[in-house]
Chains A and B, each alone.
Chain A
Amino acid sequence: MTTAFKQIRFSGLLVLWLIALMVFAVRAPAFFTLANFTSVLQFSTLLALVTLGQTLVILTGGGGIDLSVGGIVSLSGLAIASLIKDGTAAFVAGIAGVVFGGILGSINGFLITRLRLLPLIVTLGTYYAYNGLALALTGGVPISGLPSSFGLLGQDAVLAIPLHTLVLVAPIFLVMLFTLNQTPLGRWIYAVGSNEKAARLVGLPVDAIRLGAYALSGVLAALAGLVADSWLLSARPNIGDNLELLSLTATLLGGTSIFGGSGGFAGSLAAVLFFTSLQAGLQMLNVNSIWQLGLVGMFLIGSVLLDRMIRTAETK
């Protein structure tokens, strides 16, 4: 039943995407160029990484959500950039940044699992704290002037596919997808998300799984920060802005239930690509990007309504 749920929302998304593509084919043929393909992938990486983390957190249920991801992206990005400016080797700085992100995420996880606090409020608090720190510590001034050798990850492309998509997004996505669908850990994640009490009774390490989810969300956010640094060759304290709401929307649009226990990474990634390509296409049609906000909002509501209608029809 829940898989049907997921599939319906997923295919609804695909239908929307198809419609959009058809409109673009007629009115903005430049959409279907290789250059645009590369652009779309280029611009979707940040959101993709963060959304994967968000999806994982939501899947583990218990009201799981991570509003602080934007802040983690900004803070880790700043940390990495300042390390590099101090002379640390790029590789080391990257690892340090990722660990840092993991720690930031673990703080969330700890507060939620150990102290049994509500994810929505905890991550709201860390959203303010992390974003605020990024702004306050830098005074709003970005750390710029990173060496151009560092730009390899962010700016280069192989066969029209950006390097960071190839080296980061794709493998991470595949690994996570595989883990979710084919391994016991994946089944545990679904179990924890759909019925925590039963999961505990059966002996599953619910808290450890959730803590891990938040930590991983932090790691992925830090990776996004790394990519942003490499791409722009500077670290801005507000680079992570809006990512929390967008990743939440993408996750929901991709078919994952807000209550956890159903959904998956495939839908989320599809939603991310849908967003980014919609943005690119709308821009070619010279449609103001503000329409996108409204459209996406309506899609979100529409897809859930559609679900409900199909569900009620099914149970009749």
Chain B
Amino acid sequence: MNWKQWLFGRRELTLALACVAVAVFFQFLSPYFLTTDNLTTILRNSVELLLVSLGITFVLATAGIDIAVGGALGICAIFVGWSVQGDWPLAVVVLIGPAIGTGLGLVSATLVVQGKIPPIIATLGLFGVYRAAIFLLLGGSWISGLPDRLGPAVNTTIAGIPLTAIYILFFYLIGWVVIRWVPLGIAIRATGGNERAARLSGISIGGTKFFVYGFTGLLVGFAACLYVARYRNVETSTGGLIALDAIVASVLGGTSVLGGKANLLGTMFGVLLVRLLQNGFVLIGVPSLWEQVITGALLIGVLILDAWAERRSPNYTRWLATR
């Protein structure tokens, strides 16, 4: 393989290099960038996006998509918030988020599998329904000033490592093991790669899809818990368009929307890169309004890079041939 493929062939490597480059750049302009505090902050601020992106990566690997995760996050956050307000036992508070999240994820799965509705339509529709549900549930007032019961869940450090980092590593590890070693993971990639062939070889497409959407829901629910723990406030805009950010991170990380592969490490670096840039810009005084432009430029840049390095998803070439 030529040098272009070697250097840019492994997206995680490219992204990791980019992160380093960005870090050096910002450190040069602002001495506060590479401090433990700042880096910990960046990590803590990325937790929800990291979790949701993990789920989205799985969904994308099956050639699906889930635009509704933002709405699902909001709904889970509302229930977590209520349980904290209502002084329910800690076990309930911690479990209610993932439980509802998984439930909502299974709704998406049902529409896609049983209803045979293309994922983009199903989740687009659900997004509208969820947003309406959030409004109705909140009834116009936010859940504010929540007692700090969940605080320790996000703020403690064990031997200098923030607990949040452990959560992320935990889930990503599970994800990695599943994708690489467990038959389910192979099923996921096969479904995305070539659904008909996968079905013919005996893989349960329905079961696989139920898993990815349900798993995403679980992650979303957990992320909602962490959200409530950190911000102690749930408003009608909670969740929002996080789906798009998650898709950006996954694509940056090398996962293709066409399915067939899942680059978890890439996704992680993708999220990190975006957050590093966001943080860095504030530190050097660039107005936060330029962020979106940077994200867009990054995304397009990565795509062009792919094209240039002649590194195409084998799926894409195959997909092209079938059209």
B121-129, B149-157, B189-197, B260-268: which lies at the interface: B121-129
B2-10, B81-89, B112-120: which lies at the interface: B112-120
Q: Which of A120, A131, A297 contacts B127 (CB 8 A)?
A: A297
Q: Which of A121, A126, A132, A295 contacts B294 (CB 8 A)?
A: A132
Q: Counting CB contacts under 8 A, is B228 at the interface?
A: no
**Size of the chain A interface, CB-CB below 8 angstroms:** 48
| Chain B, 268-323, CB within 8 A of any chain A CB | 287, 289-300, 303-304, 306-307, 316, 320-323
Q: Which of A62, A118, A130 contacts B323 (CB 8 A)?
A: A62
State whether A195 touches B323 (Cβ < 8 A). Answer: yes
Q: Which of B128, B295, B320, B321 contacts A297 (CB 8 A)?
A: B128
State whether B290 touches A132 (Cβ < 8 A). Answer: yes
State whether B289 touches A140 (Cβ < 8 A). Answer: yes
In the complex, the chain A residue whose C-beta lies closest to that of B241 is A245
Residues 107-128 of A, flagged 1 when their CB comes within 8 A of B and 0 if not, give: 0000100011110111011111
In the complex, the chain B residue whose C-beta lies closest to that of A248 is B124
Q: Decide yes or no: A301 and B126 within 8 Å by CB, A139-B287, A258-B118 being known contacts.
A: yes
In the complex, the chain A residue whose C-beta lies closest to that of B136 is A290
State whether B303 touches A252 (Cβ < 8 A). Answer: no
Q: How far is the CB of B243 from chain A (nearest CB, A)?
A: 11
Q: Counting CB contacts under 8 A, is A35 at the interface?
A: no
In the complex, the chain A residue whose C-beta lies closest to that of B301 is A125
Q: Decide yes or no: A197 and B121 within 8 Å by CB, A127-B296, A128-B299, A298-B129 being known contacts.
A: no
Q: How far is the CB of A60 from chain B (nearest CB, A)?
A: 12
In the complex, the chain B residue whose C-beta lies closest to that of A195 is B323
Q: Counting CB contacts under 8 A, is B76 at the interface?
A: no
State whether A297 touches B124 (Cβ < 8 A). Answer: yes
Residues of the B chain whose Cβ atoms lie less than 8 Å from the Cβ of A288: 135
Q: Decide yes or no: A135 and B292 within 8 Å by CB, A121-B251, A121-B303 being known contacts.
A: yes
State whether A125 touches B296 (Cβ < 8 A). Answer: yes
Q: How far is the CA of A37 from the CA of B119 in the complex (A)?
A: 36
Q: Decide yes or no: A118 and B258 within 8 Å by CB, A258-B121, A308-B116 being known contacts.
A: yes
Q: How far is the CA of A121 from the CA of B306 in the complex (A)?
A: 13
| Chain A, 49-78, CB within 8 A of any chain B CB | 61-62
Q: Counting CB contacts under 8 A, is A305 at the interface?
A: yes
Q: How far is the CB of B145 from chain A (nearest CB, A)?
A: 24
Q: Counting CB contacts under 8 A, is A96 at the interface?
A: no
Q: How far is the CA of A120 from the CA of B290 in the complex (A)?
A: 22
State whether A132 touches B292 (Cβ < 8 A). Answer: yes
Q: How far is the CB of B248 from chain A (nearest CB, A)?
A: 7
Q: Decide yes or no: A121 and B257 within 8 Å by CB, A115-B303, A132-B294, A133-B293 being known contacts.
A: yes
State whether A245 touches B124 (Cβ < 8 A). Answer: yes
Residues 147-185 of B, flagged 1 when their CB comes within 8 A of A and 0 if not, give: 000000000000000000000000000000000000000
Residues of the A chain whose Cβ atoms lie less than 8 Å from the Cβ of B323: 61-62, 195-197
Residues of the A chain whose Cβ atoms lie less than 8 Å from the Cβ of B111: 301
Q: Which of A117, A121, A122, A128 contacts B292 (CB 8 A)?
A: A128
State whether B129 touches A297 (Cβ < 8 A). Answer: yes
Q: Counting CB contacts under 8 A, is B51 at the interface?
A: no
Residues of the B chain whose Cβ atoms lie less than 8 Å from the Cβ of A103: none
Q: How far is the CA of A117 from the CA of B136 in the complex (A)?
A: 40
Residues of the B chain whose Cβ atoms lie less than 8 Å from the Cβ of A135: 289, 292
Q: Counting CB contacts under 8 A, is B133 at the interface?
A: yes
Residues of the A chain whose Cβ atoms lie less than 8 Å from the Cβ of B186: none
Q: Counting CB contacts under 8 A, is A95 at the interface?
A: no
State whether A293 touches B132 (Cβ < 8 A). Answer: yes
Q: Counting CB contacts under 8 A, is A32 at the interface?
A: no
State whether A122 touches B303 (Cβ < 8 A). Answer: yes
In the complex, the chain B residue whose C-beta lies closest to that of A107 is B300
Q: How far is the CB of A207 from chain B (nearest CB, A)?
A: 12
21 CB-based A-B contacts, threshold 8 Å: A62-B323, A116-B316, A117-B304, A121-B247, A126-B296, A131-B292, A132-B295, A136-B292, A136-B293, A139-B289, A197-B321, A197-B322, A248-B124, A249-B125, A293-B131, A294-B131, A298-B128, A298-B129, A301-B126, A304-B118, A304-B122
Binding site for A on B (CB under 8 A): 111, 115-118, 120-122, 124-129, 131-133, 135-136, 244, 247-248, 251, 256-258, 287, 289-300, 303-304, 306-307, 316, 320-323
A-B contacts besides A111-B304, A129-B296, A304-B117, 14 pairs, CB < 8 Å? A124-B244, A124-B248, A125-B298, A125-B299, A128-B248, A129-B293, A132-B293, A135-B292, A136-B287, A136-B289, A252-B124, A258-B121, A296-B128, A301-B122
